[in-house]
Amino acid sequence: MFMKKTWLKLIPIFLIVMTLPVLVLNPKTNPAGLFVTKEAIVENKVEKIIEENNDKTLQNKSEVEDKFIYLEFLKENTIYSHFVNKETGEDTDFSYFIRPEKKEEFESKVQELIYLKYPKFIADILVKAETSRTYQIKENALVIYFYDVLIEPQIHDTLSLTINYNEIKECLDFTFLLDQEYTNEDGYNYLKNKKTVALTFDDGPNDAKTNKIVELLEQNKAHATFFMVGNKMQYGSSTIQNVLAKGNEIGSHSYNHANMKRQKLAKLKENEEKTKEIYRNITGQELIYTRPPYGSINSKIREGLDTIFITWNLDTEDWLHRDKDYIVNYVMENVSDGDIILMHDSYDSTVEAVEELLPKLYAEGYQVVSVSELANIKERTLEKNTIYRSLKKSQ
């Protein structure tokens, strides 16, 4: 009799134990210790996160297969995201849904695209392991936001990277939409609604200095126009090829840097054709721009030479001051949208100034481009026998 009663008492306990694999305890909704399903605890976690973020706008609540519930909040232009694991009910980091064997490949792709989009002085900081990230799930892309990142010079825009799922399709542990065609964010995709200036260099090619400036331009997602002297071009063919290969352009700075006003028109035409022929033999391209030495030009020259004349409206006088700090401060204090900036790739101080100036201009929201790119952005058609000092709206 005793054994029978004891067995009957043990039956409820046995039934409870048998349900443990499919039941979990939710102390919030069941303070008395009752058991609920894992689906319920996941939903309770979602509700708790929404409640804790009631000062933000809920922009997205979506279920991603049997993997996670994605919650996206917005407050003051900042994205806050949560990934509630549907198996455990935990608010997990996005890295949990990257295949373990593919995490190194994923990170390598992220770093590759960061350097494609941003200048080196920014990218070097963003790829550091300790940099905090916020992940945003979109239909066909993953967006990574980088907040509270310390960069000098200080960047005021939100730093982010959009990665099309085609780029990381083998790395993620969930399915997604794959576009048939897509483009990566590229730092050279210049925007028409941003402040833009053309950076120009006279008196080259000066091999080592010119090539260092080209390297600095590349590191900062910038381009420039190099106005070169014809009788120097023939000795700098490799430098010329490097300038062009990195997306920059070249114009004529006369054949021998002589003052055009002091020469007969026939001689000017002869010298300009010599310069064009040298350039044509090196590149197979035609020179379309001319910058008169010293900016010295008159109506006879303008009408007599078959070219587009580019002068400048912001002169650094780097040839006179030979001082990095002066050059940088002068540009930053006077620069404005549509400027054509004059420098010379002949001085170490100018190279040093370019190295400091390009990040500062980027941080202040400027795109630094060639003359042709500036004309395209400003939707201006540059005409022959015309002088352009800048491409400001008023000019």
Question: Both 132 and 268 in a single domain?
Answer: no
> Tens digit of pLDDT for each residue in 79-98?
999 999 999 999 999 999 99
Residues in Cβ contact with 26 at an 8 Å cutoff, skipping those fewer than 6 apart: 36, 40, 41, 44
Among candidate residues 82, 223, 253, 344, the one labeled active-site is 344
pLDDT at 36: 76
Structure tokens at 246: 């990195």
Query: How far is Cα 261 from Cα 146, in angstroms, rounded to an integer?
Result: 55
Is residue 345 within 8 Å of residue 210, measured between CB atoms? yes
In the chain, how long is the greatest CA-to-CA distance? 130
Whether the pLDDT of residue 47 is over 60: the answer is yes
Task: Establish if 200 belongs to a structural domain.
Answer: yes
Question: Both 140 and 269 in a single domain?
Answer: no
Question: Both 116 and 201 in a single domain?
Answer: no
Closest listed residue to residue 371, CA positions, set 328, 339, 331: 339
Question: Both 208 and 347 in a single domain?
Answer: yes
CA angle 277, 230, 236 (to 5 degrees): 100
Among candidate residues 82, 202, 223, 253, the one labeled active-site is 202
Task: Establish if 271 belongs to a structural domain.
Answer: yes
Query: How far is Cα 334 from Cα 332, in angstroms, rounded to an integer?
Result: 6
Residues in Cβ contact with 271 at an 8 Å cutoff, skipping those fewer than 6 apart: 230, 254, 255, 256, 258, 263
The mean-pLDDT minimum among 173-177, 318-322, 332-336 falls in 173-177
Which of 151, 168, 185 is where one domain is finished?
168
Query: How far is Cα 280 from Cα 20, in angstroms, rounded to an integer?
Result: 82
Task: Establish if 6 belongs to a structural domain.
Answer: no
pLDDT at 4: 46
Question: Both 279 and 370 in a single domain?
Answer: yes
Question: Both 146 and 211 in a single domain?
Answer: no
**CA atoms within 13 Å, Cβ hemisphere of 134:** 19
Percent of the chain scored above 70 by pLDDT?
A: 91
Q: Which domain holds residue 118?
A: 97-168
Task: Establish if 279 belongs to a structural domain.
Answer: yes
- The total of other beta-carbon atoms located within 10 Å of residue 152's CB is 10
DSSP one-letter code for 256: S
Number of independent structural domains in the chain? 2
Question: Both 235 and 375 in a single domain?
Answer: yes
Query: How far is Cα 362 from Cα 378, in angstroms, rounded to an integer?
Result: 18
Is residue 230 within 8 Å of residue 271, measured between CB atoms? yes
How large is the average pLDDT for residues 299-312?
97
Task: Establish if 45 belongs to a structural domain.
Answer: no
Tell me the DSSP string of 7-70: HHHHHHHHHHHHHGGG-EE-TTT-TT--EE-HHHHHHHHHHHHHHHTTTSEEEEEEEETTTEEE
Query: How far is Cα 74 from Cα 82, in angstroms, rounded to an integer?
Result: 12
pLDDT at 191: 96
Residue 102: burial class (beta carbons within 10 Å; 0-12, 13-18, 19+): middle
pLDDT at 35: 64
> Tens digit of pLDDT for each residue in 210-225?
999 999 999 999 999 9
Task: Establish if 81 belongs to a structural domain.
Answer: no
Structure tokens at 260: 């055009």
> Tens digit of pLDDT for each residue in 110-163?
999 999 999 999 999 999 878 889 999 999 999 999 998 999 999 989 999 999
How large is the average pLDDT for residues 233-239?
95
Question: Both 125 and 214 in a single domain?
Answer: no
Question: Both 104 and 253 in a single domain?
Answer: no
Catalytic: 315?
Answer: no
Catalytic: 253?
Answer: no
CATH code for the domain of 218: 3.20.20.370
Question: Both 244 and 303 in a single domain?
Answer: yes
> Tens digit of pLDDT for each residue in 342-353?
999 999 999 999
pLDDT at 23: 44
Which of 168, 185, 220 is where one domain is finished?
168
Preceding amide of 293 cis, omega within 30 = no
CA distances from 331 to 146, 221, 264, 297, 342 (A): 29, 19, 36, 25, 10
Task: Establish if 346 belongs to a structural domain.
Answer: yes
pLDDT range class, residue 12, cuts 50, 70, 90: low
Buried b (16+ CB within 10 A) or exposed e, 60-99: eeeeeeebbbbbbbeeeeebbbbbbbbeebebbebeebbe
pLDDT at 393: 80
Query: How far is Cα 180 from Cα 189, in angstroms, rounded to an integer?
Result: 21
Tell me the β-bridge partners of 25. Answer: 35
Report how far Cα 85 is from the mean position of its chain's Cα atoms. 33
Report how far Cα 82 is from the mean position of its chain's Cα atoms. 26
Helix, strand, coil % over all residues of the chain, rounded to 5: 40, 20, 35
Whether the pLDDT of residue 8 is over 80: the answer is no
